Amino acid sequence: MGQYFGTDGIRGRVGDEPITAEFMLRLGRAAGQVLAANDKRPVVIGKDTRISGYMFESALEAGLASAGANVALLGPMPTPAIAYLTRTLYACAGIVISASHNPYYDNGIKFFSADGEKLPDVIQDEIEAAIDAPFTTVESANMGKAWRIDDAAGRYIEFCKGTLPFGTDLNKLRIVMDCANGSNYKVGPAVLRELGAKVIPIANKPNGLNINADCGSTHMQNLSQRVLEEKADLGIAFDGDGDRMLMVDHRGDLVDGDQLLYIMATARHAAGTLGGVVIGTVMSNLGLEQSLRQQGIGFERTPVGDRYVHQRLVAEGLTLGGESSGHILSLDRTSTGDGIISALQVLEIIANSGKSLRELAAGMQRYPHIMLNVPVTGDAKLRLAENKTIEVEAKRVESELGDSGRLILRASGTEPLVRVTVEGQDGQQVERLAEELAETVRSELA
């Protein structure tokens, strides 16, 4: 990580450095100098539905124009749509204004390359180096221009539909869709309806302040209840920027990212289209790894973060990987994590197999797993690494778990939290050990 860029771009609370209009102006100018030097292809800008997006969109546009970069504005669109449109509009780069699953009072920025993929670290470093340089403006004749892409949503909807084999029948499916009051509030229901499914959307009326508020993939209770009320076949939940997706089955039970990855991997393996091992992270449930291996499917782990999953997939020429949170990468379908396209793959398997989501998910034996988020002050990563009391307690927990479980103790890369994750065969033991270690972290770092 650099001075500004974290594991998933630049993120923080609106009004606090660096999430200010003044910083975004400088960031836009720096990005324009690095990404669009002597290149009149536009930089694409899209955003989610938070109220601060208007301010940051304008600031980035001004900064880019001052560096001579042209700008194509998409308005509220899912992050994966911005990646896709960056490619198809032949832009030189894409910018997403979003804080993903965070509350409305946070916001952030992340970049895509011209290929619709995360920017290489070396390019991010160049942008960082230019941010704090004296602000300059090109001659008026060389300033950039800006325009809006009016048919952005339609372009993306057609792309999503095109990832399903022609003739896939979704007409029998009744689906509740939680749009998180975020950037999928229009395109999510539209895609499934045009493919024939009966869609009941909820949390699809964003007002700038209600994104992720008791809804979406971080708050699944309302979706579960609505699926039962509607007697739906399943429910789909996105996060605020639309790159993650979780489901609930017809009984309202959660089907998480590990289970969804299992369903996709085993279906591809049976069809002979998997093309190698599956990539997860250190947070992926131990049951996923063991269930895949029982099917003859290899599994490898990366550090937490979809960028690391993506890097491993590209480096090894693989196509399928993901995280427990529902951030799933299918590089044979699109270049980045995409909630809608991930959902469509699962719906395709349901339609072709004749099995319910619950039946498909039952093939994975999930280990009891608990993750506790402990709010901390100061530099969470540094303080965690230096604290000997926590280190001793963590070793005690690992010793008690033995070979039948795992402990993952890490500082969040996007929030002031330490995440305590414990999994094992004994659910009561898992819960007790997680609570004991979390209390130690709380007393030492809060």
| Residue carrying the six token digits 């994966």 | 80
Name the CATH code of domain 369-445 (choices 3.40.50.2000, 3.30.310.50, 3.30.465.10, 3.40.190.10): 3.30.310.50
Domain 256-361 falls under CATH 3.40.120.10:
yes
47 — pLDDT class (breaks 50, 70, 90): very high
- At 291-314, the pLDDT tens digits run 999 999 999 999 988 889 999 999
Mean pLDDT value of segment 276-298: 94
Cα angle 114-339-297, degrees, rounded to a multiple of 5: 95
The CATH fold of domain 169-253: Alpha-D-Glucose-1,6-Bisphosphate; Chain A, domain 3 (3.40.120)
Mean pLDDT, rounded, of the chain: 95
From 52, 66, 100, 284, active-site residue: 100
Domain 10-150 falls under CATH 3.40.50.720:
no
Name the residue among 148, 23, 178 with its Cα closest to residue 85: 148
Secondary structure letter of residue 426 according to DSSP: -
Name the residue among 367, 366, 370, 382 with its Cα closest to residue 436: 370
For residue 105, what are the CA distances in angstroms to 102, 180, 208? Answer: 8, 15, 10
Same CATH topology for 10-150 and 369-445: the answer is no
196 phi-psi bin (left φ>0, alpha ψ -120 to 50, beta other): left
Q: How far is CA 349 from the centre of its chain?
A: 22
424 contacts: CB under 8 Å, gap ≥ 6: 367, 368, 401, 404, 405, 406, 430
What pLDDT shows up at residue 1? 56
91 contacts: CB under 8 Å, gap ≥ 6: 41, 42, 43, 44, 72, 85, 114
CA-CA distance, 208 to 104, in Å (whole number)?
7
What pLDDT shows up at residue 173? 98
Please state the domain extents for the chain.
10-150, 169-253, 256-361, 369-445
- At 383-424, the pLDDT tens digits run 999 999 999 999 999 999 988 889 999 998 778 899 999 999
Mean pLDDT value of segment 331-354: 96
CA-CA distance, 134 to 4, in Å (whole number)?
17
The pTM assigned to this predicted structure is: 0.89
- At 177-209, the pLDDT tens digits run 999 999 999 999 999 999 999 999 999 999 999
**Residue 255 predicted with pLDDT over 80:** yes
The question of whether 324 is a catalytic residue gets the answer no
